[in-house]
Every structure is written in C-alpha cells, then in structure tokens.
C-alpha cells in the first residue's frame, strides 16, 4: 500500500513510501504507521485520509493497491 | 508534492474582463493553485460583470513576523487534486448561496516572499453585503478545509509547519470546523 504524506508529517515519514502488512481500514493503517514512527501519534490523530480526490473514513475498506494520502490539518491562506 | 504549474484562477460565473475577454470561459479549465506569483491586478481587471454593483477582493499576504518571530518567507504545499476540487466546490456553493455573478480564488504554492500575495478571493454581486459575506465564507473554508499547508521559514534559519486548523480539539472531529463567520 502506497502512502503519501504532506507538510508536518514529512518530519516523521518519507514523503512517499510503502507500508508492509495488512491494513483493512484507517485505524489499522495508523497502527502500521506508528510501528514505523511512534512519535507521529499526536499528529496522526488529527489527520484525515484520502484516496485520490476523496476523503475516506474508517468505514472505507482499504485495498492493497490504494494510494493513501494522509492529510494534516489545513493551514492555507 | 506536485504543485500546479498553471497560474489561471478558478472562476465561477461569467466575468467580462476589462479588455473584453471572458475570464470565466478562459478559466473553465483553469486551476486554483499556482506556483507563479498571483496577478492580483489582472484578476481584478477581469472581475467585472454588468449585473454586479459590488466587487470585493480579499488578498491574504505574507507578514514579516508571526508570534513574535521574524519571518523570512513562507512555503506552501498542497495536495493539488483534492485542494482544487474542494476550492471549486466552495466557490460553486458560495455562488449559489449569495447569487454571485463572480466567485474566484487563487492560492499560491511554493515559496512566497514577505509582502507577496498568498491567496486571493474575488466575489462580485448585485450589492455589497452579499459580496462581503461570500468573500469571508470562501476564505474561511479554504483556510480550514482545503489541503494546503504553510511552512514558516524564520530569520534565524529555523522552520515550522504551523498555524494549522485546530478545530478538531473542540469539535472532536477532524472534519468539523468552527468558522469566524458561523454557518
């Protein structure tokens, strides 16, 4: 599963990487991500997740071929 | 990150430019994010409409300080496909809600110098109250919701991604926001 992260999350992860292991939903994906870097826990708790041009929630069934975009709180303007 | 290379704004409405161009039509395939400096004067020149008695332009600009620290410049990053879609949807909603003739927004990505424009919103309506209200609505929602982030680069050489929307601390939901203007 490919992961893209932005902004402050790049202080914890590479901008683009792949996660090993199975994640059926975003909660399980968070667990995999924290296994990579548990210092990202506070930031991950405030992030949204997206696939392509749409936000997803924990009810969305992740596919191993999905590219997951992890979106920190906005700070535009 | 894949910042957009286009500098055309998103326009909702039928703007007739000062030079007689149809800014609305020209922007049909345009994008709302730009790595190029925003041509604020050009955007305003194109934002006139025979049924609009009021045009409001909001320009968000880069300050040289934040929370007591000297700022050298800002760096904006965006998840472009979703940010552009969301801003277009916000403009469409505002146009319908306030019967706007024009709703336009453009946001910078990349490095933005102190004094430069980071974001522009232009609204045009029959009377000023609708144009002002819509402008506040559009910029509030862009700042809270669009996946755009700024990194402050300070004069001492340090940097910080910051000023994030923190509404979730109150609402308990990262998708629910509290706006200055209410909803």
- Residues of B at the A interface (Cβ-Cβ below 8 Å)? 1, 60, 76-79, 81-83, 85, 107, 118-119, 139, 142-151, 161-168, 174-175
CB pairs under 8 A between A and B: 86
Q: Quick check: B161 and A72 CB within 8 A? A: yes
Is the model more confident about B162 or about A75? A75
Question: B172: pLDDT confidence band, cut at 50, 70 and 90?
Answer: confident
**Does residue B146 fall inside a structural domain?**
yes
**Does residue B5 fall inside a structural domain?**
no
Question: B162: pLDDT confidence band, cut at 50, 70 and 90?
Answer: confident
Structural domain boundaries enclosing A64: 2-71
Structure confidence at residue B9 (pLDDT): 64
Contacts of A11 in chain B (CB under 8 A): 161
Residue numbers in chain A where pLDDT is lower than 70: none
Structure confidence at residue B13 (pLDDT): 62
Residue B141 CB neighbour total at 10 angstroms: 23
Of B85, B139, B164, the CB nearest to A73: B164
Residue A33 token pair: 């991500």
Contacts of B143 in chain A (CB under 8 A): 74-77
**Does residue B176 fall inside a structural domain?**
no
**Does residue A41 fall inside a structural domain?**
yes
| Residue whose entry in the numeric block shows the structure tokens 């609402």 | B171
Contacts of B182 (CB under 8 A, 6+ apart): none
**What are B135-149's pLDDT values in tens digits?**
999 999 999 999 999
Q: Quick check: A74 and B148 CB within 8 A? A: yes
**Does residue A17 fall inside a structural domain?**
yes
Number of domains in chain A: 1
**Does residue B182 fall inside a structural domain?**
no
Which backbone phi and psi does B52 adopt, to 5 degrees? Answer: -105, 115
Number of domains in chain B: 1
CATH number at residue A6: 3.10.20.30
Residue B67 token pair: 């929370």
Structural domain boundaries enclosing B96: 10-171
**Does residue A76 fall inside a structural domain?**
no
Q: Quick check: B139 and A75 CB within 8 A? A: no
Residue B13 token pair: 């409405």
Is the model more confident about B67 or about B6? B67
Burial of A71 (0-12, 13-18, 19+ CB in 10 A): buried
3-state SS track over A20-50: CCCCCCHHHHHHHHHHHCHHHHHHHCCCEEE
Q: Which residue does chain B place closest to A16, by CA atoms? A: B1
Residue B182 has pLDDT above 70, yes or no: no
Structure confidence at residue B14 (pLDDT): 52
Structure confidence at residue B22 (pLDDT): 40
**Full-model pTM:** 0.84
Contacts of B135 (CB under 8 A, 6+ apart): B56, B58, B121, B122, B123
Structure confidence at residue B56 (pLDDT): 98
Structure confidence at residue A76 (pLDDT): 76
**Does residue B180 fall inside a structural domain?**
no
Nearest one of A13, A71, A55, A75 to B109, comparing CA atoms: A75
CATH number at residue B100: 3.90.1170.40
Q: What average pLDDT does chain B have? A: 84
The ipTM assigned to this model is 0.91
């Amino acid at each position: 599963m490919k992961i893209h992260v932005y902004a402050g999350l790049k202080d914890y992860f590479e901008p683009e990487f792949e996660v090993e292991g199975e994640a059926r939903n975003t909660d399980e994906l968070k667990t995999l991500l924290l296994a990579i870097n548990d210092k990202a826990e506070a930031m991950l708790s405030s992030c949204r997740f997206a696939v392509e041009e749409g936000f997803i929630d924990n009810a969305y069934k992740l596919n191993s071929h999905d590219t997951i975009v992890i979106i920190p709180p906005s700070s535009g303007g | 990150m894949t910042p957009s290379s286009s500098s055309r704004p998103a326009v909702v409405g039928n703007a007739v430019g000062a030079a007689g161009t149809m800014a609305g039509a020209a922007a049909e395939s345009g994008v709302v994010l730009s790595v190029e400096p925003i041509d604020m004067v050009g955007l305003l020149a194109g934002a006139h409409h025979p049924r609009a008695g009021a045009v409001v332009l909001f320009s968000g600009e880069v300050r040289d300080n934040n929370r007591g620290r000297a700022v050298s410049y800002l760096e904006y990053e965006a998840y472009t496909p979703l940010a552009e879609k969301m801003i277009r949807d916000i403009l469409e909603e505002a146009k319908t809600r306030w019967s706007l003739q024009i709703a336009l927004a453009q946001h910078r990505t990349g490095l933005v110098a102190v004094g430069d424009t980071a974001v522009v919103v232009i609204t045009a309506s029959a009377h000023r109250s609708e144009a002002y209200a819509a402008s506040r609505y559009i910029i509030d929602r862009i700042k809270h919701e669009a996946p755009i982030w700024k990194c402050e680069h300070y004069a001492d050489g340090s940097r910080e991604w910051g000023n994030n929307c923190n509404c979730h601390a109150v609402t308990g939901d990262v998708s629910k926001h509290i706006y200055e203007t209410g909803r």
